Amino acid sequence: MLADKPKRVNMENGLFNYLSLTSEEKTLIDELNIIKCYNKGTILLREGDNVDKCYFVIKGCIRTYYLNNGDEITAEFYTESNPLSPFCLRNKKPSSFNVACVEESLLCVTTPKVEAIIFRKFPHFESLYRMLVEEVLVNTHISFAQFKNASPEQRYENMIVNRPDLVKRAPLSQIASYLGIKPESLSRLRKRVNNKLQMV
Amino acid sequence: MLADKPKRVNMENGLFNYLSLTSEEKTLIDELNIIKCYNKGTILLREGDNVDKCYFVIKGCIRTYYLNNGDEITAEFYTESNPLSPFCLRNKKPSSFNVACVEESLLCVTTPKVEAIIFRKFPHFESLYRMLVEEVLVNTHISFAQFKNASPEQRYENMIVNRPDLVKRAPLSQIASYLGIKPESLSRLRKRVNNKLQMV
């Protein structure tokens, strides 16, 4: 499923339910036509393609993944308020990963040019965005540090504690590669961890 | 070694060698007294302390680490142009990790209040900073994804390729916990990887 036909978004029922905006801000966002809704399974970007867009998840879940000897490895899940700005956009290299919708997703899809227009007109958006990216960066560093010295069981436990929604939103095979665990091992240890957490 | 006595920085020989700034920008930075030089080994922040500062590495190397059953686990190394904004600063919780200087380090040390003053006076600093944080975030996601499904040998190889300077800057024990490998295993596989890379 390709990304070229997003659904038209009724703004009054879409973005504006999730963000509190002034009427001037609403008008600009409407004019720029940057809010898109994609079906579950839509591929937004393919490995090797040129990159020209940044994504910001308003509602839904998208993931980055790549192929390793034919196996799909999920690199990261992006859910509500997570920004995904492929670095290949800045170094002008083809994308090193794929981006796909794990569920139906309402996204803010921009380019560096469009971002510049928005930030020039409403500088406080840049401040908000900067603080948000900083927060995501720090959380990523913490998850990474926890991951490094954790057993597969601890990794799954950490995910349940830090991002409990992912278990319900993504299929087991995607979560397994995301945690660096084989699907059959995840299937086994999941029962143990769930029993343990229910007992706490 | 505590962090309360940074060396006085001669700005003409310090920061201004690394950044190109207008005289107005130089004056503000001088007035705010935010550029500090710390000796190797200085502890900038201790686990459990209240956090009130953000760090930006102009020159040098600092690391975050925590204790796990008495063992020091290095979470991340921050080198030239890396920002470290402890997330505990925003959620007002005590720090969950320590921060220390791996080598003598020239740092820009700010608080959210000081950042607000700088960004209000020179909004383009906020844009630059935002783009920088985005770049670091994307690189962190890539390293994290590579790490998850890599063998210890591949992890060391990836580090040599992506951050070759770290091997020369940080001691083996810190690099081992950073890679989630026991020091004795790292010592063995390091020889194999170095031989392999020399043959390429």
pLDDT of residue B13: 45
> How far are the Cα atoms of A95, B18, B34, B125 from residue B54, in angstroms, in the given order?
32, 19, 10, 15
Residue A78 falls inside a structural domain: yes
Find out whether B97 and B56 touch, Cβ atoms under 8 Å: no
* CATH label of the domain that carries residue B110: 2.60.120.10
Mention every residue, 6+ apart, whose C-beta is less than 8 A from residue B197. Answer: B157, B160
- Of A142-146, B2-6, B117-121, B156-160, which range is least confident? B2-6
pLDDT of residue A14: 47
* Contact B126/A at CB under 8 A: yes
Interchain proximity A85–B139, CB inside 8 Å: no
CA distance A166 to A56: 18
Chain A residues in contact with B118 by the CB 8 A cut-off are none
Residue A128 falls inside a structural domain: no
CA distance A108 to A15: 9
Residue B21 falls inside a structural domain: yes
Find out whether A130 and B130 touch, Cβ atoms under 8 Å: yes
Which A residues, 135 through 174, put their C-beta within 8 Å of a C-beta on chain B?
135-145, 147-149
- Look up the domain containing B96 and give its range: 1-122
Q: What is the reported pTM?
A: 0.80
* Contact A90/B at CB under 8 A: yes
Interchain proximity A149–B96, CB inside 8 Å: no
CA distance A149 to B182: 10
* Contact B134/A at CB under 8 A: yes
Residue B193 has pLDDT above 90, yes or no: no
Size of interface A-B (CB pairs under 8 A): 110
Residue B173 falls inside a structural domain: no
Find out whether B68 and A149 touch, Cβ atoms under 8 Å: yes
Number of domains in chain B: 1
pLDDT of residue B171: 96
Residue A142 falls inside a structural domain: no
Residue of A nearest to B145 (CA): A75
Residue B182 falls inside a structural domain: no
**ipTM above threshold 0.90:** no
Strands (E), chain A: 35-38, 43-45, 54-59, 62-68, 71-78, 83-84, 98-101, 105-110
Mean pLDDT of B100-123: 92
* Contact A124/B at CB under 8 A: no
Residue A59 falls inside a structural domain: yes
pLDDT of residue A123: 85
What share of chain B has pLDDT > 90, as a percent? 42
Which A residues, 2 through 61, put their C-beta within 8 Å of a C-beta on chain B?
none
| pLDDT tens-place values along chain A, 200 residues long | 545 566 655 555 445 555 677 888 888 888 999 999 999 999 999 999 988 899 999 999 999 998 888 889 899 999 998 888 866 566 677 888 899 999 999 999 999 889 989 999 988 888 888 888 888 888 888 888 888 878 899 999 999 988 999 999 999 999 999 998 999 999 999 988 888 877 76
What share of chain B has pLDDT > 70, as a percent? 87
Q: What is the pLDDT of residues A132-176, one digit of tens each?
A: 888 888 888 888 888 887 889 999 999 998 899 999 999 999 999
Closest CA to A123 of A19, A25, A31, A52: A25
Question: Long-range contacts of range A110-113, CB-CB < 8 Å, 24 or more positions apart?
Answer: A110/A32, A110/A34, A110/A53, A110/A54, A110/A56, A111/A52, A111/A53, A111/A54, A112/A54
Residue A80 falls inside a structural domain: yes
